[in-house]
Amino acid sequence: MSIRLRELIRAVRACKTAAEERGVVAQECARIRTAFKEEDTEFRNRNVAKLLFIHMLGYPSHFGQMECIKLITSPNYMDKRIGYLGLTLLLTDQEEVLMLVTNSLKVDMHSSNMFVAGLSLTTVGNLATPDIARDLMMEVEKHLRGGRPYLVKKAALCCIRILRHLPEHVEDFMERIMEVLKDRHHGVLVAGVQLITAVVESDPKEYAPAFASVAPSLVKMLRNLLSVGYAPEHDVAGVSDPFLQVHILRLLRLLGQHAEGVTDTMSDALAQVASNTETAKNAGNAILYECVQTIMTLDTENGLKVLAVNILGRFLLNRDNNIRYVALNTLGKVVQLDPASVQRHRSTIVDCLKDPDISIRQRALELIHQLVNESTVVSLTREMLNYLVVAMPEHKAQLCDKITAAAERYAPDRRWRIETLITMLSIAGSHCNERITSGTIMYIGQCKEFHGQAVHKLAAALQEDMVAAPSGLMKVAVWCIGEFADLLASPQDAFPAVEGGSAMCPAQDAMPHEEIIDLLEDLLNHHSATASSRSSALTALAKASYRLGEGLGEDGKARVEEMLEGYRSSITLELQQRSCEYLNLLSPQWDVVKKEALDRMPVMDEEAFRERRARYTMGAGMGAFDDAPGAGDRSPKPQASASSSAPAAGPSPSKNGLPIPSCSSNGGGDLLDLEDIFGGGGGSAPAAATAAAVSPAVAAAAAPGAGNGAAAAAAAGGVDLLADVFGGGGGLVPSKAAPANTAAPGPGPVAVGGDSDDFGGFEVAPPREEKMVAFDKSGLRVVFSPSKPDASDPSKSKVSIAFTNTSDEEISGLVFQAAVPKSFTMKMGALSGHNLPPHSDGVVSQEINVTNAMQGTKSLMMKLKIQFRRGTVNVAEVAQVAQFPAGF
Amino acid sequence: MINFLLLISRQGKTRLTKWYQTYSAKEKARTVREITSTVLARALKMCNFVEWRDKKIVYKRYASLFFVACIDQDDNELITLEKIHLFVEVLDRYFGNVCELDIIFNFHKAYYILDELFIGGELQESSKKEVLRVCSQMDDLMEEAKEEAANGNQGPSRRR
């Protein structure tokens, strides 16, 4: 028994819960399925209709597809109609089943009944696949010339879909399409205009000239519409057929843009539309909106353009939000062509930023961003900053980018730019990406004369609301406080206002030393602090304490040490290491090197930085950019090779730690990717070299000095949790570390810049690990660090290999092959990279595991084949390595 | 062109969907969900346009129903509002003071009317009168077909 559609709808609507509804639907679906299976023709129509309703509720309905196709083949109009409706609702043009209806569509298109043919045309227009389009093209073309307006308009819209699928057939339809515009029926005209628009849009260069000849008749049509007076059939709010007018204006724009340009009659018609259209209602505004776009796009005379811009100005002041939206939207397109006319409305546009409607605000923001130039940057940036306060969180990042870009491009003076950036960071610093924060730091570094003001401002911004301070602000502030603590502790002179730029800058009082330390303490203990922000804060603390010097007093010094001490046993390697190093560095015995180690960062060369960053992001040497704690020691720094003093006394665990201290003792390593500074600006190399030279000494010296020196040395050696092992194990490590102290800063026995990098290096302080230069030619140095990983099995050896580029050119396409005598078995790891930047050290590494089957009688030898490309030169070398230490 | 057209009730129920571009069933469901929540959340006085992905949503509320059309970036938003209004007016005249219930119970008729106004997302007819005339002619044809079917059916009529 089949219930009626109406009853089903009622039953569904009566359901109180979703579960109940599901039950009703499931039951009905089952009934419908059964009916379909039993080939029930009597109620097929009704069942499909019910299924369509169920489909709309969101339940599966694919089983009705075949029934729709069956209904379409029925001669009964009622069945046909529901069948076609089902087809368009249940199917997409991706389904194969559609092929089955091609024939029915063809038959129906030939039907003498206008409405049956109409159904078929509608379906083709909504759903045709390329195959159907090809098969029915001729039928549609026939209807296009058929004469019955009802079918001509449908056929015209059908053509849009057909020609979209079969662009090669446009030529065949061309003549027919032009004829369509001779009709008087508005439905036919509007369909025809849209058809031509679609065809021209598909390939303006090809078809705009071909259809250029219709332009005069379009203009004529437009004029007729304007002069016709009241036509009840097509009147909308006092405007005669706005739909047709809009579509004509749009087509005229396309044709004028890509073909003949603007004729006098066209200009006249546009002027007539622009000045005579009723603006009280939406319909009239829709026409004006289209007309303005056409005028502004086309090469019309200036008078007309002024008229158009004035219309937009009026739109902008309209109370209706829709109209304001389209005005902003159009001004956004106009601004490139005619910036001056848009600038006039600047204040109105700025007001739109305060609108409660997000659509309007977004449009206004886009527009404002485009309006920024040398003369407006100050006021518009202020507006953008104001908006930043209230903007939706998801838009803040984008807005920050825009402000940064505007400040970078048009800043009237340096101080203004710094102030803007700082203000932006304090409003939305947590939405700023790394690029903005590091860019700000870089820029502040460059502006020597404003260091004091900047650091005062940052400190004040932090103090204002420490709890809610955004991360970006903290990042920049911590760096600046570390670098310029002495300036923060001294009063700053006022700066006069700059005309058209920064406002007056009041004099700043000196900040008491305790407060500076308080600030850093707050930053260190901030609720949102991360390991990386803490490590920056530790560095800042060390630097600040050095800069404040004696002024800090004994109490202050003790506090700093206490704070550093707190991280001495941190489980985060980076923090522990920094803590240990700085504690030592601040002790009086290192006064000699302190100045150089904690000196101000050299000013960064922005160009070199960018270049380098671009190269790195493309190249393989990404390791150097990671500031994750572990990555520090995996990628020995470029400057390490510059310091020939590298690891003191070979077998000391401290040498593993070399890369880290060299980086962190320079401060702010995490903030700015020190590698870039040193690698990029050659000039700063000396400072780096000293810093690098200092660090191992510090680390080594720590060993005998402090009570738990062993732990300190181990910690500096890049081991955190393992520190306990060393501390407990006692005996071995201190004795190893001791010679390190004596050998300290001088060149060690193996003067190799690179380092054995990997973690394998400090598996329980490997007692045997020596370095040997296996190859050093043509700008490439290969250093072997052979070791015995398994103390119980002497036949197994591991060779860690570090590649160093000693030349001025980049090495790329590195291929490294090794061979061993037959009595050995060898397992080679993968090369960690194939490119080495100039003077880079250990960016690429490799590991080889060798097992000696004749341990004790034969010793290890290796034959190497190395190929690479240095600059533009291809290099291929062969080398033999036989000088392995005894026991390998 | 119009990419798709939705009728959404104020309670967030979908009353009519018409897709003029190809979307998978999953995409359709997600789109309806996304748009429903966006449109329903907007305050009365805000403008009728929302930027959505790389398209624009033009919507208008009539009594308890939202009429939502998705158009391309460079389409005329204002005339789209007029097109929506044209559809609403035809519905209104056809049903005689249309309400949401009319569209719920006669959703198929709403689709038929829509098919007389738009094909492939483009406007087919700008005259209300013309659309209404065609619709009533088709309804007559339906009546004839119904009688025909009833006469052709020999068994006891369960239809009415």
Q: Which residue of B has its CA nearest to A192?
A: B124
Asked whether residue B158 is domain-assigned, the answer is no
Residues of chain A with pLDDT under 70: 1, 260-261, 499-501, 617-769, 842
Asked whether residue B142 is domain-assigned, the answer is yes
Whether residue A789 contacts residue A756, with contact meaning beta carbons closer than 8 Å, is answered with: no
Under 8 Å CB-to-CB from A408, ≥6 apart: which residues?
A417, A439
| CB within 8 Å: A322 and B77 | yes
Distance separating alpha carbons of residues A45 and A67, to the nearest angstrom: 9
| CB within 8 Å: A359 and B83 | no
| Residue A195 DSSP one-character state | H
User: Judged by CB atoms within 8 Å, which residues 295-354 of A form the interface with B?
Assistant: 320-326, 329
Q: In what order do the strands lie in the sheet with A873-881?
A: A811-819, A862-870, A873-881
pLDDT at A190: 94
Does A54 lie at the interface with B, CB-CB under 8 angstroms? no
Considering CB atoms only, which of B79, B134, B144 is closest to A286? B79
Whether residue A168 contacts residue A203, with contact meaning beta carbons closer than 8 Å, is answered with: no
Asked whether residue B19 is domain-assigned, the answer is yes
pLDDT at A242: 92
Distance from CA of A234 to the nearest CA of B (A): 5
Q: What is the pLDDT of residues B11-63, one digit of tens each?
A: 999 999 999 998 888 899 999 999 999 999 988 888 999 988 889 999 999 99
Asked whether residue B159 is domain-assigned, the answer is no
| CB within 8 Å: A191 and B155 | no
User: Judged by CB atoms within 8 Å, which residues 231-260 of A form the interface with B?
Assistant: 233-234, 236, 241-244, 246-247, 250
pLDDT at A880: 84
Separation of CA A584 from chain center: 42
What is the gyration radius of the CA atoms in chain B, in angstroms? 18
Which of A647, A691, A638 is closest to A843 using CA atoms? A638
Asked whether residue B32 is domain-assigned, the answer is yes
Distance separating alpha carbons of residues A286 and B83, to the nearest angstrom: 11
Asked whether residue B156 is domain-assigned, the answer is no
Asked whether residue B15 is domain-assigned, the answer is yes
Does A191 lie at the interface with B, CB-CB under 8 angstroms? yes
- Residues of chain B positioned with their CB less than 8 A from the CB of A356: 43, 45-46
User: Judged by CB atoms within 8 Å, which residues 68-87 of A form the interface with B?
Assistant: 76-79, 81-82, 85
Distance separating alpha carbons of residues B34 and B38, to the nearest angstrom: 6
CATH of range A772-881; options 2.60.120.10, 1.10.10.60, 2.30.110.10, 2.60.40.1230 = 2.60.40.1230
| CB within 8 Å: B82 and A115 | no
Whether residue A93 contacts residue B22, with contact meaning beta carbons closer than 8 Å, is answered with: yes
Distance separating alpha carbons of residues B33 and A112, to the nearest angstrom: 43
Does A282 lie at the interface with B, CB-CB under 8 angstroms? yes
- Residues of chain A positioned with their CB less than 8 A from the CB of B124: 153-154, 157, 187, 190-191
Distance separating alpha carbons of residues B77 and A157, to the nearest angstrom: 21
Long-range contacts of A747-750 (CB under 8 A, 24+ apart): A747/A644, A747/A645, A747/A646, A748/A645, A748/A646, A748/A647, A748/A648, A748/A649, A748/A650, A748/A655, A749/A649, A749/A650, A750/A647, A750/A650
Domain count, chain B: 1
Which of A627, A656, A763 is closest to A716 using CA atoms? A656
Domain that holds residue B53: 2-151
CA separation, residue A495 to residues A301, A400, A436, A714 (Å)? 50, 27, 26, 50
Q: How many interface pairs between A and B have CB atoms less than 8 angstroms apart?
A: 165
| CB within 8 Å: A324 and B104 | no
Sign of CA dihedral B142, B145, B149, B150: positive
Start-end ranges of CATH 2.60.40.1230 in chain A? 772-881
Coil, strand or helix: which one is B67? strand
Burial zone of A370 (CB within 10 Å; 0-12 exposed, 13-18 middle, 19+ buried): middle
Could you give the percent of chain B with pLDDT greater than 70? 94
Separation of CA A660 from chain center: 30
Which of A726, A736, A746 is closest to A704 using CA atoms? A736
Which of A837, A354, A369 is closest to A635 using CA atoms? A837
Q: Residue B17's beta-bridge partner residues?
A: B6
pTM of the predicted structure, to 2 decimals? 0.67
pLDDT at A619: 54
Asked whether residue B157 is domain-assigned, the answer is no
Distance separating alpha carbons of residues A486 and A488, to the nearest angstrom: 5
The CATH code belonging to domain A414-494+509-605 is 1.25.10
CATH of the domain at B143: 3.30.450.60
Separation of CA A649 from chain center: 47
Distance separating alpha carbons of residues A676 and A678, to the nearest angstrom: 5
Which of A362, A188, A242, A235 is closest to B78 using CA atoms? A242
Considering CB atoms only, which of B1, B124, B149 is closest to A154? B124
Q: What is the pLDDT of residues B67-114, one digit of tens each?
A: 999 999 999 999 999 999 999 999 999 999 899 999 999 999 999 999
Start-end ranges of CATH 1.25.10 in chain A? 414-494+509-605
Q: What region, left, alpha or beta, does residue A848 occupy, with left being phi > 0 and alpha being psi -120 to 50 degrees?
A: beta
pLDDT at A657: 36
- Residues of chain A positioned with their CB less than 8 A from the CB of B1: 198
Q: Which ipTM did the prediction report?
A: 0.93
